[in-house]
């Protein structure tokens, strides 16, 4: 192993220092981690903070680069955002109607949610196309179709789209072709200040949408039905600033839980909640013992993980696509054959070639992967392709004997706060290294 270095989010991520993560694996975990606040809930809340001209405060906000990137986009358009000690403060009183540029949209996909907020606030917005993303094509056609139903006229140019409404946005009945998380959030953002009632049919039901709607209700919005496939929004004339305590990130929970499931051993995951995330069921299928505490979950794995004959990623309440790479890493050492079907994003299987490099036995055809468990994985030099494949590789690295170096770790910091320190809290040997 090379000499470890300390990690600083601002210097290492925002100003482009190249880092890698080195893990010396093969030992069981033992320790305790506190689960960070939810990435996928805070990003739409940040967009929602632009709907009013008062101050919004979000506590327990994770220190991850997606939050900082979203804050930079908001500052580009006149928002004032500060972050200190997990407290995010947003003042949108001086917001201007500036266009949202390509560089920003590519840096942070969730910036497309600013379309809904800007339409609600100014009745118009110009945004460069989000373009491709490393986990597959991620179009915004559902978002655009919905805005058109609300009276927005869209002009599509080669590189950007202009959305404009001559009068106030109008509530509408919108049936989504697929329960898209981003489209549901964007429609809600546009609808809370629209005239009349908006009814979203086939809405996404993810827990992050539920928390986001609670947050908006605290701001004064009138919303019903979140968590079901029908969300009904009665537009109001004004929203006000709030102070919000962000809930735990269920995918970060699943990530550290999968480290226990794959490496063996035991850990206490503190979530500050008395309701365990639904994803806990997959841990039982993998053979983990689970005990619920008052503010967390104790997980123990005493044997090789069980294989899972078949599992498919689906919109909530199905198994999350964001957990797929994490589960695949664990199944590499199961005592049998497992099948994973990826039902949402087509490019999530690029991690397979990295896992093979570590000794995994995986075949795949199209979106179906067959994982035959092996008794040992070994360390290798591997590269993250996206946020969750990076996390999957860290799990595999903990399970593998010898040293694994995970390159392109900046993807991992998009969604995980202090991931190396968290692995150390679990008793794993992990360190940051500066790339030459
Ligand atoms: C959100 C999550 C991401 C998660 C994903 C699926 C955030 C910040 N990100 O992403 O972590 O993996 O949900 O749970 O919350 N689609 C279209 N047209 C559209 C919109 C989506 O065809 O206009 C398709 C996508 O290509 C994809 C599927 O719908 O195949 C789901 O995408 P969506 O739910 O919108 O994902 P995101 O909101 O981008």
pLDDT in tens, 324-376: 999 999 999 999 999 999 999 878 899 999 999 999 999 999 999 999 999 99
Q: Is the pLDDT of residue 132 over 50?
A: no
Provide the 8-state DSSP code for 384: -
Q: Smallest Cα–Cα separation from 163: which of 181, 140, 180, 182?
A: 140
Ligand 1 pocket member 110 (CB < 6 A): yes
- What integer pLDDT is reported at residue 95 of this predicted model? 87
Predicted confidence band of residue 273 (pLDDT cuts 50, 70, 90):
confident
Mean pLDDT check: name the lowest of 71-80, 201-210, 267-276: 267-276
Distances (CA, A) of 217 to 212, 238, 247, 359: 9, 12, 16, 50
Q: Tell me the pLDDT tens digit for each residue of 154-178.
A: 988 877 889 999 889 999 999 999 9
Are β-strands 160-164 and 173-175 bridged in parallel, bridged antiparallel, or unpaired? Answer: unpaired
Distances (CA, A) of 264 to 126, 278, 420: 50, 21, 18
Tokens of 366: 């199209």
Location of structure tokens 């930079």 = 72
CA 186 – ligand 1 centroid, Å: 12
Predicted confidence band of residue 133 (pLDDT cuts 50, 70, 90):
very low
Q: Examine the residue annotation and report whether 133 is marked as an active-site residue of this protein.
A: yes
Choose one of 107, 132, 146, 180 to mutate for the ligand 1 pocket test, by most ligand atoms within 8 angstroms of C-beta: 180
Q: Smallest Cα–Cα separation from 115: which of 125, 102, 104, 130?
A: 125
Q: Phi first, then psi: what are they for 41, rounded to 5°?
A: -90, -35
Residue 379, CB half-sphere, CA atoms under 13 Å: how many?
17
The pTM of the full predicted model, rounded to 2 decimals, is 0.94
Choose one of 115, 344, 387 to mutate for the ligand 1 pocket test, by most ligand atoms within 8 angstroms of C-beta: 344
State the average pLDDT over residues 14-40.
Answer: 89
Location of structure tokens 């460069």 = 128
């Amino acid at each position: 192993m090379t000499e470890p270095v300390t990690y600083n989010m601002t210097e290492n991520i925002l100003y482009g220092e190249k880092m890698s993560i080195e893990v010396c694996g093969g030992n069981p975990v033992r320790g305790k981690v506190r689960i960070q606040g939810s990435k996928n809930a805070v990003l739409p809340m940040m967009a929602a903070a632009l709907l009013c001209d008062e101050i919004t405060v979000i506590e327990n906000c994770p220190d991850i680069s997606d939050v900082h990137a979203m804050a930079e986009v908001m500052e580009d358009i006149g928002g004032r955002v500060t972050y200190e000690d997990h407290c995010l403060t947003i003042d949108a009183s001086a917001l201007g109607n500036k266009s949202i540029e390509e560089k920003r949209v590519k840096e942070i996909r969730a910036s497309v949610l600013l379309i809904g907020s800007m339409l609600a606030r100014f009745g118009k917005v110009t945004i460069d196309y989000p373009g491709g993303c490393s986990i597959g094509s991620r179009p915004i056609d559902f978002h655009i179709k919905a805005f058109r139903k609300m009276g927005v006229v869209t002009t599509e140019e080669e590189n950007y789209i202009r959305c404009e409404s001559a009068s106030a946005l109008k509530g509408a009945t919108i049936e989504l072709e697929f329960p898209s998380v981003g489209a549901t959030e964007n429609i809600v953002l546009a609808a809370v200040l629209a005239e009349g009632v908006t009814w979203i049919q086939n809405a996404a039901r993810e827990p992050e949408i539920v928390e986001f709607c609670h947050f908006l209700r605290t701001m004064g919005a009138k919303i019903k039905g979140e968590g079901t496939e029908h969300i009904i929004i009665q537009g109001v004339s004004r929203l006000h600033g709030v102070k919000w305590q962000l809930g735990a990130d269920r995918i970060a929970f699943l990530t550290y839980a999968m480290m226990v499931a794959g490496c063996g051993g035991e850990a206490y995951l503190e979530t500050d909640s008395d309701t365990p995330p639904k994803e806990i069921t997959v841990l039982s299928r993998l053979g983990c013992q689970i005990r619920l505490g008052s503010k967390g979950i104790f997980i123990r794995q005493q044997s090789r993980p069980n294989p899972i004959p078949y599992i498919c990623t689906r919109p909530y309440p199905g198994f999350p696509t964001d957990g797929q790479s994490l589960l695949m890493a664990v199944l590499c050492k199961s005592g049998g054959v497992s099948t994973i079907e990826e039902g949402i994003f087509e490019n999530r299987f690029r991690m397979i070639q990295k896992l093979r490099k570590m000794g995994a036995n995986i075949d795949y055809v199209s979106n179906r992967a067959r994982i035959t468990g092996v008794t040992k994985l070994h360390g290798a030099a591997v590269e993250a392709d996206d946020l969750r494949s990076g996390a999957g590789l860290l799990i595999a690295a903990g399970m593998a004997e010898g040293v694994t170096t995970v390159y392109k770790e900046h993807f991992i910091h998009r969604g995980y706060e202090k991931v190396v320190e968290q692995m150390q809290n679990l008793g794993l040997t992990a360190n940051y290294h500066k790339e030459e």
